[in-house]
Amino acid sequence: MDFLEEPIPGVGTYDDFNTIDWVREKSRDRDRHREITNKSKESTWALIHSVSDAFSGWLLMLLIGLLSGSLAGLIDISAHWMTDLKEGICTGGFWFNHEHCCWNSDHVTFEERDKCPEWNSWSQLIISTDEIKTILSGFIIRGYLGKWTLVIKTITLVLAVSSGLSLGKEGPLVHVACCCGNILCHCFNKYRKNEAKRREVLSAAAAAGVSVAFGAPIGGVLFSLEEVSYYFPLKTLWRSFFAALVAAFTLRSINPFGNSRLVLFYVEFHTPWHLFELVPFILLGIFGGLWGALFIRTNIAWCRKRKTTQLGKYPVIEVLVVTAITAILAFPNEYTRMSTSELISELFNDCGLLDSSKLCDYENRFNTSKAGELPDRPAGVGVYSAMWQLALTLILKIVITIFTFGMKIPSGLFIPSMAVGAIAGRLLGVGMEQLAYYHQEWTIFNSWCSQGADCITPGLYAMVGAAACLGGVTRMTVSLVVIMFELTGGLEYIVPLMAAAMTSKWVADALGREGIYDAHIRLNGYPFLEAKEEFAHKTLAMDVMKPRRNDPLLTVLTQDSMTVEDVETIISETTYSGFPVVVSRESQRLVGFVLRRDLIISIENARKKQDGVVSTSIIYFTEHSPPLPPYTPPTLKLRNILDLSPFTVTDLTPMEIVVDIFRKLGLRQCLVTHNGRLLGIITKKDVLKHIAQMANQDPDSILFN
Amino acid sequence: MDFLEEPIPGVGTYDDFNTIDWVREKSRDRDRHREITNKSKESTWALIHSVSDAFSGWLLMLLIGLLSGSLAGLIDISAHWMTDLKEGICTGGFWFNHEHCCWNSDHVTFEERDKCPEWNSWSQLIISTDEIKTILSGFIIRGYLGKWTLVIKTITLVLAVSSGLSLGKEGPLVHVACCCGNILCHCFNKYRKNEAKRREVLSAAAAAGVSVAFGAPIGGVLFSLEEVSYYFPLKTLWRSFFAALVAAFTLRSINPFGNSRLVLFYVEFHTPWHLFELVPFILLGIFGGLWGALFIRTNIAWCRKRKTTQLGKYPVIEVLVVTAITAILAFPNEYTRMSTSELISELFNDCGLLDSSKLCDYENRFNTSKAGELPDRPAGVGVYSAMWQLALTLILKIVITIFTFGMKIPSGLFIPSMAVGAIAGRLLGVGMEQLAYYHQEWTIFNSWCSQGADCITPGLYAMVGAAACLGGVTRMTVSLVVIMFELTGGLEYIVPLMAAAMTSKWVADALGREGIYDAHIRLNGYPFLEAKEEFAHKTLAMDVMKPRRNDPLLTVLTQDSMTVEDVETIISETTYSGFPVVVSRESQRLVGFVLRRDLIISIENARKKQDGVVSTSIIYFTEHSPPLPPYTPPTLKLRNILDLSPFTVTDLTPMEIVVDIFRKLGLRQCLVTHNGRLLGIITKKDVLKHIAQMANQDPDSILFN
């Protein structure tokens, strides 16, 4: 009775911008697997096929890891090279020379070069994490993860990163890795044909993307689990970890930064933290939460303005203007001029004896304590001027990031957010340090810091601040802490990081429940059924189902009394993507569910090939069709496309349970019955609309009604 | 229509050894939450109540973390003290003196003291992780997580750990933490009354348990996610992490080992690993897989023998005999005599200049290379004798661990498994090192190791071996790698660890699919629906449902035609835990589902309190009962205990989908319909039995048919 038994081309596939049916897809994969396993006993060849099929998942992970690691290395190296290009290309004799120097000889506007009109057509590719999140939840967007996307995204990412704009590369790298995953899926039968299996691969690829962006394989896996993925079976956990690790290892072998470390901002602090420091850490957490809430609100408001006003029609001009403003404002200040990663690196750094940066310009720099460590010292001129510059940098970064994220260039949010937090943290850290130095007599410092010892580490404050701001924007929790400590190698600082991350999440959640990715998903109106938020309203399935009380009755097919013509009329008069099949119109007892697409394909196919099927042929969904009287046209048996196990709930089922079923089983639709009679239908979009209505949001913002 | 509206005491609770209904429990919690939120607008007091309710989860986590951290510290300190006691109590003048020295003056049998007859009654508490796993999946075992268990477990754990038996403490610590969680749940209304919410807390407590056992908070959370928990919402992830961290932090503040490190076996290796070393690492992985498969098979066979033969009747004698044998065999060899944690620590250690252990007795010990590092050197006499002793230790540990795990004392498996792997790894590592020293001309060493440099680190091999063996036994994946690197602080060695863990899992899986916890769950016959294994057979719901083809019809209630007496007859004649309610026997159209326990309580209650309800009263499950003719006894309306949204599937639904629904939604039973008519019922136990049947296992081994 399986619809795969007589495969008609096209049956079981999806239209673009549709939601997949997880249950059906997984069931199909199990059928396929069963078939291969059964055959494997027959011949050696089949056995080899079965083994290779079992290992294809691992092979795929290996390839994804290798490919995304290599691409990340390539991107890093090219971006570096391009960044260097900005500094001195005209003095050298390269063949680029002409092209770029002609563009504009003014040093400042070199920044704009990356966004010159040649790339217009490429800049259609926008921020990605939220789209990927939606695709992983089972939505079909064709071409979004194709090879052209990969090529263009790779090139534009190099350009964007090297341009000095306030953006990070983790979002685009996740997209690049997902493209790799999607393209490689086409090489394996198992994954090419099954939308659910492919989404498992994409989850793993997302982990690999974060892994190469930060050299944080475990953090990447947790990020994929916590933030990105909709359906994350435990088997995928291990595979994702494998892919993430291979990617990180490949990147490390390429060694784009020349320091052969997996750890991006390696820090080594010499002093433990003190319990009283939890107070400033929590303050940083509050700052991070406020920043997160502010950023999400203003950024979403700006993006909405972009969508609804004339502004959205000139994405290239917008990019050029923002780049120009960034360049002009950023150039005078050394902290905004340097690349954001370098800035973070410098802010995290604990001042050693030999550090010559302005941030380490303390008085009595070379006095060491008895233990050989550097004690707290009064700040010198350099530190004070650095403080002012950092404060200006903070304001600039805050403003610029709000306008940059969401432009039509590939951009990530981690690095800018971390920079904002790191600056705030460093400022507070230096402040605390000076306070401890000048007010050693205060009880609080007295009891914790011994005279002339190193007591406060400003670099640690920067790290904690970075975690807080990142947490406020993304609302990540465990993955945030893990990423932070994979980034810095600081396993000992897990408590401060956690305290800040938790405060930040609470503060930000109090001001608005959505993280930035969810906010952008809602802005774009993708049908994403959030798995984190509990549905807390006391409505019933009957309040949500179609048809509503005053609507015409539900369109159903009967199992043995409709002609081809009747069905074709129904198909042409409605746009529903599927129809319930009942025993008879009078009894309304449910037999199964048939998809519109399968129905159209099957009828077309039958009309073409099956002898004698005409408009007056009767369609049978029953197992056996009755003997025909003479001179009637042959019947059309369609039981093979009928889903005999449609999900049903009763009309009195609370919507919270219905929402739970949709989430956990990944349903596309669910039928509603009352005392055994079919009453209506609830689709995923009905559920989403209802949730939006209950939250007093605009239900029409959900795309594709 | 909610059954909470008219609460009758006892309605909605469970009998012992029953499975909970996750959907119902969660729905009840949401009702409760909604009520509190609605009330919060009415008065300040209600608002405070609502806020405190929202924070009670966090408070609970904090308390669990504090309590389990403190208990772990207490256990560590006491166990240390007791271990020291073994060495010299009789020479001192303590009040213990008399008691213990009287027992036996022979040094060896001091070991037995811990198991002397006084503790007979306490030793009923057996290995725990698998029971906890079953409880988390929604099974009720009363008293298993009570305060007496906590007290006895804490005391016996101290005794068992200090006794020198081949066991670890992570299993019992998980149990101790879960007891803390369960006891603390009683202080919070929200958790006391809801079985599903309480299981969320227990998941977090399990994470806290692993966290304190190893000082590995992230590993603990992943362990709980991957191995222990059945239902793990993302909200719990963050809370578990919080509890795990508080517990680890508390333990660190107590500082039982006196080194103020969270990291248990801190290692610092000076050399990077080389790519060719992946070959020996993979060999270690294979060894780990073989050990895992061997251990699980022999241990389960031995435990089965214990269950089925006379042996099981003398648990105390068994413990005494095993302890005596362990003591006698362990004493002569210094590596078996030392505590297992110390042994692992020594095996992981990289030989420094000042190390005086036998394992570091190389020739030319004090020659350093130009870079100041210790080059590979020929092994001295000490190393060779250590190798022999370690080989003997390996064999002893393997044999003893098989007989120890599963005895009626609290025991964990991590430490013994890691010891086995660490010994094997160290042996291989020293072998490789000597090979590299004596055969520097071999291409493989030539191309990777420079002359006179430190090339092979035997300690790293020990670490990799430990991971491999732990992985083989538990089949953990990501959590294993994370625990290993939280244990050792070696973020750089993630690739070797992963390679070994992966090989080990593959090898072990090829020899038998189950990890040790699942094997013990099956041995004990607990109704645990494994979420990892895919159900791969092509059976349908109709093959599993009751009644079977030749059985009498399904016992149903009708919604408006049965008397109290009819229902009582049905209750007394059957043992089913619930009954479907249909419109009428003829139509068999489903209205709802009513639980036996609720039905009994309601009828009893009505007979006692409701005026005039007698045996001939008609029970109505309908919304409105029809007007009664005069002189008929009053009716009993029971719609409030009727579950109006029972889950249904069609008879043609593949069992793989049914299994999926049971797993993901945590169902207790599911009704089966055909074309809208009720046909049968499938319970969780039917599903488990069917899975066991399909896997050709003994279906009667599933407890509580």
A645–B646 CB contact, under 8 Å? no
Long-range contacts of B293-297 (CB under 8 A, 24+ apart): B293/B472, B293/B507, B293/B508, B293/B511, B293/B512, B294/B398, B295/B398, B295/B401, B295/B402, B295/B417, B295/B472, B295/B473, B295/B516, B296/B473, B296/B508, B296/B512, B296/B514, B296/B515, B296/B516, B296/B519, B297/B512
Tens digits of per-residue pLDDT, B333-377? Answer: 888 877 787 888 888 887 766 666 777 777 766 666 555 556 667
Q: Do B498 and A241 touch (CB under 8 A)?
A: yes
Stretch B678-700: mean pLDDT = 79
What is the mean predicted confidence (pLDDT) over A358-367?
71
A275 has a chain B CB within 8 A of its CB: no
Q: How confident is the model at residue B705 (pLDDT cuts 50, 70, 90)?
A: very low
For residue A232, the SS3 value is coil
Cis, bond preceding A547 (omega within 30 deg of 0): yes
Tokens representing residue B417 in the block: 């498994």
Beta-carbon separation of B30 and A656 below 8 A? yes
- Model pLDDT, residue A289: 94
pLDDT for residue A261: 54
The answer to whether B477 contacts A226, with C-beta atoms less than 8 Å apart, is no
Q: Under 8 Å CB-to-CB from A118, ≥6 apart: which residues? A: none
Q: At a CB cut-off of 8 Å and minimum separation 6, what does B609 contact?
A: none
Is the separation of the CB atoms in A335 and A389 below 8 Å? yes
Closest residue of chain A to B23, computed from CA coordinates: A657
- CB of B218 within 8 Å of any CB in chain A? yes
Q: Using a CB–CB cutoff of 8 Å, tell me whether B536 touches chain A.
A: yes
pLDDT digits (tens, 9 = 90+) for A574-589: 888 889 999 888 888 8
How far apart CA B355 and CA A390 sit, in angstroms, is: 48
Whether residue A120 has pLDDT greater than 50: no
Residue-by-residue DSSP string for B423-486: HHHHHHHHHHHHHHHHTTTSHHHHHHS-TTS----HHHHHHHHHHHHHHHHH---HHHHHHHHH
pTM: 0.77
Model confidence band, residue B110 (pLDDT cutoffs 50, 70, 90): very low
Best of B491, B513, B677 to disrupt the A interface (most A CBs within 10 Å) is B491
Task: Say if residue B131's pLDDT is above 80.
Answer: no
Helix axes B414-438, B340-348, angle to 10 degrees: 30
With a cut of 80, say whether residue A69 has pLDDT above it.
Answer: yes
Residues of B in contact with A495 (CB under 8 A): 245, 249
Q: What is the CA radius of gyration of chain A?
A: 30
Q: What is the DSSP string of A518-561?
A: HHHHHHHT-----SSSPP----BHHHHSBS-TTSPPPP-EESSS
User: In chain A, which among 113-152 make CB contacts under 8 A with chain B?
Assistant: none
- Would you say residue B291 has pLDDT above 90? yes
Q: C-alpha B37: how far from its chain's center?
A: 35
Helix (H, G, I), strand (E, B), or coil: what is residue B579? Answer: strand
Fold category of B541-695 in CATH: CBS-domain (3.10.580)
Query: In chain B, how long is the greatest CA-to-CA distance?
Result: 110
Query: What are the tens digits of pLDDT across the range B140-154?
Result: 666 666 677 777 777
Phi-psi region of A229 (alpha: psi -120 to 50; beta: other; left: phi over 0): beta
User: DSSP per residue over B674-699, as a string?
Assistant: ETTEEEEEEEHHHHHHHHHHHTT--G
The pLDDT value given to residue A90: 34
Residue type, A704: F
- Tokens standing for residue B669: 């039973």
**Which residues of chain A does B645 touch, with a Cβ-Cβ cutoff of 8 Å?**
541, 649-650, 652-654, 657
Give the closest-approach CA distance of A150 to chain B in angstroms: 28
Distance of residue B360 Cα from the nearest chain A Cα, in angstroms? 29
Q: What is the dihedral of CA B107, B108, B109, B110, to 10 degrees?
A: 50
Mean pLDDT of B247-271: 68
Mean pLDDT confidence for B386-409:
86
* pLDDT score recorded for residue B97: 32
Q: Which of A237, A482, A648 has the CB atom closest to B648's CB atom?
A: A648
> Residue B15's pLDDT band (boundaries 50, 70, 90)?
low
Residue A162's identity, in one-letter code, is: S
For residue B351, how far is the Cα from the chain centroid? 36
Chain B, residues 493-512, CB within 8 A of chain A, namely: 494-495, 498, 502
Average pLDDT over every residue of A173-188: 84
The whole-number average pLDDT for the span A194-215 is: 83
ipTM over 0.85: no
State whether residue B4 sits within 8 Å of chain A by CB: no
A675 contacts in B (CB within 8 Å)?
A: 583, 589-591
- CA gap B694, B567 in Å, rounded: 36
Q: Left if phi > 0, otherwise alpha if psi is -120 to 50, otherwise beta: which for A43?
A: beta
- pLDDT for the residue numbered A16: 65
Contact A255, A470 (CB under 8 A): no
Q: Do A653 and B645 touch (CB under 8 A)?
A: yes
CA–CA separation, A253 vs B280, rounded Å?
21
Amino acid at B323: T
What percentage of chain A carries pLDDT values higher than 70? 77
Query: Picking from A160-174, A372-386, B119-133, which range would have the lowest pLDDT averaged per residue?
Result: B119-133
Residue A368, both tokens = 């060491």
Highest mean pLDDT among A553-562, B57-66, B453-462: A553-562
For range A401-427, the mean pLDDT: 85
Q: What pLDDT, on a 0 to 100 scale, did the predictor assign at position B76?
A: 75
Task: Read off the pLDDT of each residue in B295-312 and give the average, rounded to a whole number.
Answer: 86
From residue B297, alpha-carbon distances to A534, B293, B411 in Å are 43, 6, 18
Interface contact flag, A492 B673, Cβ < 8 Å: no
Tokens of A475: 């609302």
**How does B48-63 read in b/e, with b if 16+ C-beta sit within 10 Å?**
eebeebeeebeebbbb
CA distance A125 to chain B (A): 31
pLDDT category at B321 given cuts 50, 70, 90 is confident
Strands B648-650 and B669-674: parallel
Percent of chain B with pLDDT over 70: 77
Q: pLDDT band for position A63 (50/70/90)?
A: confident
Which tokens in the block code for residue B536?
A: 């791969």
Contacts of B87 (CB under 8 A, 6+ apart): none
Q: What is the pLDDT of residue B113?
A: 40
Domain ranges of chain B: 22-81+143-262, 275-362+377-524, 541-695
Q: Is B677 on the interface with A (CB under 8 A)?
A: yes
Indicate the pairing of strand B618-620 with strand A677-683: unpaired
pLDDT of B120 > 50? The answer is: no
> Exposed e or buried b for every residue in B629-641, given b needs 16+ CB within 10 A?
eeeeeebbbbbbb
Q: Which of B498, B538, B591 sits opposite A34 (nearest CB)?
A: B538
pLDDT at B293: 93
**Per-residue model confidence (pLDDT) at position B288:** 94
Highest mean pLDDT among A376-390, A521-535, A640-654, B471-485: A640-654
Stretch 578-597 of chain A: residues touching chain B, C-beta under 8 Å: 583, 587-592
- Count of CB atoms within 10 A of residue B178's CB? 32
Centre a 10 Å sphere on the Cβ of residue A580 and count the other Cβ atoms it contains.
23
- Residue B69 pLDDT exceeds 60: yes
Q: Please determine, for residue A292, whether its predicted confidence score (pLDDT) is greater than 80.
A: yes
- Tell me whether residue A9 is exposed, middle or buried, using C-beta atoms within 10 angstroms of its C-beta: 0 to 12, 13 to 18, 19 or more: exposed
Question: Which residues 448-487 of chain A have a CB within 8 Å of chain B?
Answer: 477-478, 481-482, 486
Indicate the SS3 state at residue A185.
helix
Q: Is the alpha carbon torsion for B298, B303, B307, B311 positive or negative?
A: positive
Residue B705 Cα distances to A32, A544, B131, B671, B700, angstroms: 34, 40, 18, 18, 8
Q: What are phi and psi of B202, to 5 degrees?
A: -65, -35
B646 close contact with A: CB closer than 8 A? yes
- The residue with greater pLDDT, A67 or A410, is A67
The stretch A100-108 carries a mean pLDDT of 37
Q: Do A241 and B478 touch (CB under 8 A)?
A: yes
pLDDT at res. B251 = 81
Residue A28 token pair: 């199909």
Q: Enumerate residues 6+ apart whose C-beta is below 8 A from B489.
A: A491, B263, B266, B267, B268
Dihedral pair phi/psi, residue A637, rounded to 5° = -95, 120
Residue B42: CA count within 13 A, CB half-sphere: 8
User: How many Å lie between the alpha carbon of B417 and the closest alpha carbon of chain A?
Assistant: 21
Nearby residues of A424 by Cβ (< 8 Å), 6 or more positions away:
A284, A287, A394, A465, A469
Chain Cα centroid distance, residue B68: 16
Q: What is the mean pLDDT of chain A?
A: 77
- Total Cβ atoms within 10 A of residue A165: 26
**Residue found under tokens 């509050």:** A286
Nearest residue, CB atoms, A645 vs list B221, B583, B649: B649
On the question of pLDDT at B100 being above 50, the answer is no
CATH architecture of B275-362+377-524: Orthogonal Bundle (1.10)
Render pLDDT for A13-51 as a digit per residue (tens, 0 to 9): 666 666 677 777 777 777 777 788 788 778 888 888 888
Secondary structure (3-state) at B18: coil
A556 pLDDT higher than 50: yes
Please tell me the predicted confidence (pLDDT) of residue B669: 86
Q: Is B38 on the interface with A (CB under 8 A)?
A: no
Residue from the list A241, A495, A664 with its beta carbon closest to the beta carbon of B664: A664
What pLDDT shows up at residue A405? 83
In this complex, do B37 and A536 lie within 8 Å of one another by their Cβ atoms? yes
Token digits of residue A392 = 């200006």
Kindly list the distances between the CA atom of residue A317 and the CA atoms of A327, A401, B95, in Å, as whole numbers in the listed order.
15, 17, 87
Predicted confidence band at A461 (pLDDT cuts at 50, 70, 90)? very high
d(CA B129, CA B412): 8
| Comparison of pLDDT for B109 and B508, the residue scoring more | B508
Query: Residue type at B225?
Result: L
- Of A671-685, B118-132, B409-423, where does mean pLDDT reach its minimum? B118-132
B30 to chain A: which residues are within 8 Å by CB?
A: 534, 536, 656
Question: What is the pairing mode between strands B557-558 and B578-582?
Answer: parallel
> CA torsion B407→B411→B414→B419, rounded to 10°?
-70
Contact pairs from chain A to chain B, CB under 8 Å: 156
Contact A165, A326 (CB under 8 A): yes
User: What is the distance between the alpha carbons of residues B656 and B643, in angstroms, rounded to a whole number?
Assistant: 25
Model confidence at A91: pLDDT above 70:
no
Q: Average model confidence (pLDDT) for chain B?
A: 77
Instruction: Provide the shortest C-alpha distance from residue A442 to chain B (in Å).
Output: 25
User: What are the φ/ψ torsions at residue A462 (nearest 5 degrees)?
Assistant: -65, -40
As a whole number, mean pLDDT of residues B394-412 equals 83
Q: Which residue is it, tokens 């305290």?
A: A499
- Output the pLDDT for position A297: 92
**pLDDT tens-digit readout, B187-199:** 887 788 777 788 8
